[in-house]
């Protein structure tokens, strides 16, 4: 019998002042979140820094009472971690050295890669629409798609985690994409900027 307390219950307990609930949440998702971060940054210390910053944001949001995504705790935490990973890469990006000769504009070489406000707004909307589409998928397909796209797991790992063969995992991913495309076509949804 599975007696594991649901994330949403633990979040609610923590928001009511139960610090132990937070410890359970952190320990429960420690390996998954740390591995996800490590798969991107490939450095143990940076992984732990980002993990720590992620949960500091989580703690602040929960204590402020701003959290409203009941039942989707892990995807929300993963998104925070992903944004912090991107910040890390932006911060550490080395700019190319350039010796100006007077008639060359440096800004034609170095651009600001951040999206402008309008593009960012559109991107956020697309991300939100896509999340809703993913939510519509059958549970087995949603699980594979989430592990592959958001957790960056190989199909071998997904197969081991879900207790199916690799070909079944591949098949579920394929059908997940086919189903998403179908819904997009059926409802004339535009997911491009």
Task: Say whether residue 22 binds another protein (CB under 8 A).
Answer: yes
Q: Is 16 exposed, middle or buried (0-12, 13-18, 19+ CB in 10 A)?
A: exposed
| 38 lies in the site for another protein, by CB under 8 A | yes
- Interface segment toward another protein; rule CB under 8 A; list 16-24, 96-104, 110-118, 123-131: 16-24
Q: Is the separation of the CB atoms in 157 and 118 below 8 Å? A: no
Residue 31 as a binder of another protein (CB under 8 A): the answer is yes
* Binding residues with another protein: total (CB under 8 A): 35
Q: At what angle do helices 7-15 and 44-64 cross, to 10 degrees?
A: 60
Cα within 13 Å of Cα(162), Cβ side: 26
Shortest CA distance to 138 belongs to which of 188, 179, 78?
179
- For position 105 contacting another protein by CB under 8 A, the verdict is no
| Interface segment toward another protein; rule CB under 8 A; list 18-26, 81-89, 117-125, 179-187 | 18-26
| Residues between 138 and 167 with contacts to another protein, criterion CB under 8 A | 152-157, 166-167
| For another protein, the closer CB: 109 or 149 | 149
**What count of Cα atoms within 13 Å lies in the side-chain half-sphere of residue 20?**
1
- Given a contact cutoff of 8 angstroms between Cβ atoms, the answer to whether 25 and 77 are in contact is no
Applying CB under 8 A, the span of 31-39, 90-98, 107-115, 178-186 interacting with another protein comes to: 31-39
Q: Beta strands of the chain (E only): which ranges? A: none
Give residues 42-101 in contact with another protein (rule: CB under 8 A).
42, 44, 47-48, 51-52, 55-56, 59-60, 63-65
Q: With H, G, I as helix, E, B as strand and everything else as coil, classify residue 6.
A: coil
Compare residues 83 and 165 and give the one whose CB is closer to another protein.
Answer: 165
Which pair of structure tokens corresponds to residue 32? 């998954």
Binding site for another protein (CB under 8 A): 19, 22-23, 26-27, 30-31, 33-35, 38-40, 42, 44, 47-48, 51-52, 55-56, 59-60, 63-65, 152-157, 166-167, 170
């Amino acid at each position: 019998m599975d007696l594991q307390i649901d994330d949403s219950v633990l979040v609610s307990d923590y928001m009511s002042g139960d610090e132990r609930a937070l410890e359970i949440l952190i320990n429960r998702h420690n390996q998954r979140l740390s591995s996800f971060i490590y798969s991107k940054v490939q450095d143990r210390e940076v992984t732990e820094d980002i993990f720590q910053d992620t949960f500091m944001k989580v703690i602040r949001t929960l204590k402020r009472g701003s959290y409203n995504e009941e039942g989707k705790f892990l995807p929300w935490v993963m998104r925070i971690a992903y944004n912090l990973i991107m910040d890390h890469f932006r911060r550490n990006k080395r700019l190319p050295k350039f010796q100006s000769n007077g008639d060359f504009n440096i800004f034609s070489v170095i651009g600001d890669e951040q999206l402008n406000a309008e593009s960012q707004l559109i991107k956020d909307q697309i991300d939100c629409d896509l999340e809703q589409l993913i939510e519509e998928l059958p549970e087995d397909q949603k699980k594979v798609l989430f592990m592959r796209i958001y957790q960056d797991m190989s199909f071998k790992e997904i197969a081991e985690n879900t207790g199916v063969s690799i070909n079944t995992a591949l098949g579920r991913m394929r059908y997940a994409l086919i189903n998403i495309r179908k819904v997009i076509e059926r409802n004339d949804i535009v997911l491009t900027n």
